[in-house]
Amino acid sequence: MINVMKAQKYQVLRSISTYVILLCSLILISVILFAEISGEQAEKITGSMFVSYIGEINMTILPILILVYTAVIFGNDLTDKTVNYELLCGIRRSDVFFGRFFVVLAVNIIVYLIITFPPMLIFTVLNGWGHTMTVKEVVVRYSLGLLPVIRYTSFYTFITMAVRNKAVVIGIGYVFSMITMLLTILKNELFDTKVTMYLFSIDIFDRLLNPKNMGYGFFDGEDVMVVKDILETDTMCHAAAASILGTAVFLLIGYAVMRRRDMN
């Protein structure tokens, strides 16, 4: 498995698409973010206020990023038959499958950190942390946010293994992401249930990264926008359970598909 991971790491670091996808995503996020905060004076956007803004954007962009990176990195070797050569050389199917999965997962986690924390630190250095959210709450929310990243990666790994065509996988994944996003928004309007976290990874992102109950607090002689959502222990436990269960199921199915299918 280590040799498979080293080979995949080499390919990822030397692939232009790795950096182009990230650059395009950062540009898109920046455009959306500045359009959203255009009504605010730049010097008033603190680090914690930025987090409250970026949550909804991350919930929309992150699933697409995870989809694209997983389909491209995992799907390339299915298209050019590299996987076949590895199997013919005696590398176990489990090493071929999980070696690629761990590399894709590492890339997705790094992307998650890149689009989240550097901008947050920039606004904190420029305007301070502020009072919108506490540091502890942000750390807890975004640490837990790694769980749906892992679940999304395992889901799209399974889809890529089943379809074996990265372009088709990206198309299917995009449609699926849009449908689940609409269903999550509809669910939030009609009723509140944690069951949907077990069905849709995006609902986990929504609950963890996108605080909805905003109000005003009084700090240092002025009114300040603050997040009044409390991340309950019950929500955290359901998010963890749904992510772990989903990850296990998708990886087992994806590996089963690989074991049963001829690599032709």
**What pLDDT digit, counting tens, does each position of 13-34 carry?**
888 888 888 888 888 777 776 7
H or E element, residue 218: strand 214-219
Beta bridge partners of 214: 227
Block residue for tokens 């049963």: 260
pLDDT over threshold 90, residue 252: yes
| pLDDT at residue 249, as a whole number | 95
Confidence band (pLDDT; 50, 70, 90) for 262?
A: low
Buried b (16+ CB within 10 A) or exposed e, 38-52: eeeeeeebbbbbbbb
> Do strands 222-227 and 214-219 pair parallel, antiparallel, or not at all (unpaired)?
antiparallel
Confidence band (pLDDT; 50, 70, 90) for 3?
A: confident
Question: What is the percent of the chain with per-residue pLDDT over 70, rounded to a whole number?
Answer: 90
The predicted model gives 204-225 an average pLDDT of 76
pLDDT over threshold 90, residue 248: yes
Which residue in 186, 203, 189, 188 sits closest to 238, CA to CA? 203
CA distance 207 to 140: 12
- Compute φ and ψ for 226, nearest 5 degrees: -130, 150
Domain segments of the chain as ranges: 2-260
What's the Cα-to-Cα distance from 236 to each of 42, 142, 194, rounded to whole Å? Answer: 33, 12, 10
